[in-house]
Every structure is written in structure tokens, then in C-alpha cells.
Amino acid sequence: FYELSDSPNLFLKQFEDQLPHHNRRLKDRPADGFNLFGHAMEKDSGRRMAEGSTVSTTFNGPLDFKELYNGVDLDHYWDYEGSFTTPPCTEAVTFYIMMGRAPITQAQLDKFKVAIGWEGPAGNFRP
């Protein structure tokens, strides 16, 4: 859905400073990953390492998700039927993949990779 560009993605730019950073440390060791709320997670136990979020932001919302597709041709897409990813995995989902791509800078991509745990050898850590 994204293509590397010199122009930043304006939708993502609204809240990218709220994403967890790779240099966040708790106690004397780094976190193994972060959940969606920016809480540091411990990989072995799958538990939060600290109470509350230490993420700071200038974002004050709300998000207009229609801007996510700004500049992407909505008439051209692939679709396929699938299932929910949680049990009982009901087959009642239709996925839509846009053929066009939105811009994203390398810096924005790097921030998202760190936030979802793709920057290290462990890949996509999911607590």
C-alpha cells in the first residue's frame, strides 16, 4: 500500500511522533517490543514492563481516516474472501487491497518498523 517517496505521508505525519521509540529503556534493559498503546512489553512473558505510557505527542486528534487514501485511486483494487484472525476464525471477511500506493518517507517507514517490532531479528513481535 505504501511506496517510498521524498514526500512524507501527511496522514501518518499527524501521529507518527506518538509511536514508541527504539531508544526507550526501562530499568537497565531495553523493552522487547511495544503494544498499540506504547507500553513496553517483555517478550518471554508477554506482559507490560511498566505502568502507563511514556510516549509523548503533539497529536490532539481526531483522525480523518478518509485521508489515509488521499491520492490513491479507489476504483482499482484486488479483493479476496478470508477469515477473522482470532478463534473461531469465522470465514466472513472480505479483504480489499488497493492497487495504487500512498507515499511514505524512509524516516516514516523506519518509525513504524520500530513501533511494531520489525527492526530486529525477532521480526513482528506480538504480545
Predicted confidence (pLDDT) per residue in 3-16, tens digit: 899 999 888 888 88
The per-residue pLDDT for 122 is: 57
**Nearest residue to 115 (alpha-carbon basis) of 34, 2, 9, 1:** 34
The answer to whether residue 23 scores a pLDDT higher than 50 is no
Could you give the percent of the chain with pLDDT greater than 90? 23
**Amino acid at site 89:** C
The per-residue pLDDT for 125 is: 52
Grid cell listed for 108: 516514516
| More confident: 69 or 42 | 69
The per-residue pLDDT for 77 is: 94
Could you give the percent of the chain with pLDDT greater than 70? 61
| More confident: 69 or 33 | 69
The answer to whether residue 73 scores a pLDDT higher than 80 is yes
**E-assigned strand segments in the chain:** 2-4, 25-26, 29-30, 33-34, 40-42, 47-48, 77-82, 93-98, 102-104
* Mean pLDDT for the stretch of residues 79-84: 94
The per-residue pLDDT for 100 is: 92
The per-residue pLDDT for 92 is: 94
The answer to whether residue 58 scores a pLDDT higher than 80 is no
* Mean pLDDT for the stretch of residues 99-124: 79
